[in-house]
Chains A and B, each alone.
Chain A
């Protein structure tokens, strides 16, 4: 490897976990079987007590760190946090990162062939909830002979999975790191997701979700969905600092031809997204976000939902994140305090908005590093008997 970044896990290969039995979903529907793509970084130790699960967010996938080939321009999406001597230190930890069911990174999803029809699932792909993902990740853990995660970590939608893990499998999660997340979406947040979905479904090429059969792609809609989303992931100040009112073309504003830098940026983001993402997956992921509400089963009492959790929690929120604001992390923290769980919450000052959770912000990465170092030295003694 001749990568400039020496602290990378280097070349990585995705692997496939095949589950041949019927997998029942919360909706009552069943997947006759599934495949889940995942990557691992670092080495599982003999005691198998150094494994960390990374849960990805809306547009993420299993490729969290390293490069797939020498020619790759970009590393995995969390390269700045995962690797040797990084906060999620692959010299110490065995890191597992999977592509969620319903995703478009290779795991069974709307683009996969439906065994009943041999055509792509498309609109027939069932609704998947955060709970379903966690259940499928549990099967992956069993496959890898990991009986307990040292930590489950995720940002945004990934943070929801970390919480669900701690709730559903309390014995199997030592530490849960929930970054820029929420215990449930607010009406405004759901509204933004609906805008994105509407952008996709109103594209004539969407064809009720069965666009692959007709060899079309609702690219215009998906692009618009991503553009809307992207605006909400940044902050007013952050955008102003980055783009201001910079103009890219030479046309004058008076002639109406001038293009602002921010417009170009959004178009670029939208277009490049359509090359790597599936529209049905986008809808599915946003639905999973909307429906996440672990307190629903406990009379809307979030503390009660966490009652049996045994993990030590770290909550991280960012001051300029208005899509998943600090207050949402406070709600989770307060519920955990009320339930008498071990919890820490840090509020990182930044103008980078919701996207902060993907960025190498010094205070954030140092806190993550400190928490995981502690996790590493405080592996419970009773682990071997489990």
Chain B
């Protein structure tokens, strides 16, 4: 299991009902089901991911996040999770609003585009940054709405979302004391626990 999923997994309360947006191979839901007796659904639109979810017995709905979450009721999930997916959707603001509508709480994790390697990369090479946490070239990246921590927190303020906790990690998904000195400069991945 990926380190990032393990970290999110620890935030899942027992027997909660969760919705995982861009659930990938269903690792998180499988963990939540097995270890926390949680129920819920994963949304994805990649056939291989969906097949792997079915093999694990994870409920998976083939659905494009860009088409919204209109099929889910207000407050119908204890937790809505979106790991490293917000940057890949066409309308991140709209999707954030939808997440906060259907979930009592949300966890959003983002790769930080303001991280120092990205900045240096752009500054010195004059090219779109390619870093360990953002490994794609500009022409084949699924990430069409990259942001920095400051950008994301600004959006949270605009949407009047409370940030309950923020966890910072380096490019190896490790917490690191230097990160807190200047999060937007050093952090590669950030985890936000949000509430309306």
Contacts and interface: CB of A to CB of B under 8 A. Distances in A.
Interface of A: 314, 330, 333-334, 337-338, 340, 342-347, 349, 363, 366-367, 370-371, 373-374, 378
B54 A337 contact: no
Contact of A370 (B51, B63, B71): B51
A367 B56 CA distance: 11
Contacts of B59: 342-344
Contacts of B71: 330, 333-334, 337
A374 B55 contact: yes
A374 B54 CA distance: 8
Contacts of A370: 51, 54-55
Interface string B37-79: 0010100000100110111111111110000000111001000
A316 B147 CA distance: 37
Interface of B: 17, 39, 41, 47, 50-51, 53-63, 71-73, 76
A374 B55 CA distance: 7
Given A330-B71, A346-B50, 11 more contacts: A334-B71, A337-B41, A342-B59, A343-B41, A344-B50, A344-B60, A345-B60, A346-B54, A363-B47, A363-B51, A371-B54
A340 to B, nearest CB: 7
A342 B62 CA distance: 14
Contacts of A338: 73, 76
Nearest to A371: B54
15 contacts: A333-B61, A337-B72, A338-B76, A343-B41, A344-B50, A344-B60, A344-B61, A345-B61, A345-B63, A346-B60, A367-B51, A370-B54, A370-B55, A374-B54, A378-B57
Contacts of A373: 55
Nearest to B48: A363
A342 B58 CA distance: 9
Given A337-B71, A342-B59, A347-B62, A367 B41 contact: no
| Listed residue (A340, A346, A371) with the most chain B CB atoms within 10 angstroms of its CB | A346
Contacts of A371: 54
A340 B62 contact: no
A324 B3 CA distance: 42
A342 to B, nearest CB: 5
Contacts, number: 52
A346 B55 contact: no
Contacts of B53: 344
A342 B17 CA distance: 12
A371 B72 CA distance: 24
Contacts of B62: 345-347
Contacts of B39: 340, 342
A337 B47 contact: no
Nearest to B17: A340
Given A330-B71, A337-B41, A374 B47 contact: no
B54 A344 contact: yes
A246 B64 CA distance: 38
Which 9 pairs from chain A and chain B are nearest by CB? A370-B54, A374-B57, A334-B71, A370-B55, A347-B62, A344-B60, A345-B61, A346-B62, A344-B59
Contact of B50 (A340, A343, A367): A367
A254 to B, nearest CB: 48
B61 A337 contact: yes
A312 to B, nearest CB: 8
A366 B61 contact: no
A310 to B, nearest CB: 13
A346 B45 CA distance: 9
B102 to A, nearest CB: 11
Contacts of A366: 51
A371 B52 CA distance: 10
A337 B69 CA distance: 12
B61 A343 contact: yes
A363 B62 CA distance: 13
A151 to B, nearest CB: 14
A344 B60 CA distance: 5
A363 B47 CA distance: 8
Contacts of A330: 71
B132 to A, nearest CB: 33
| Listed residue (A342, A349, A373, A378) with the most chain B CB atoms within 10 angstroms of its CB | A342
Nearest to A367: B54
Nearest to B53: A344
A320 to B, nearest CB: 15
A13 to B, nearest CB: 34
Contacts of A378: 57
A314 B55 CA distance: 12
A345 B62 CA distance: 6
A349 B47 CA distance: 10
A342 B40 CA distance: 8
B15 to A, nearest CB: 13
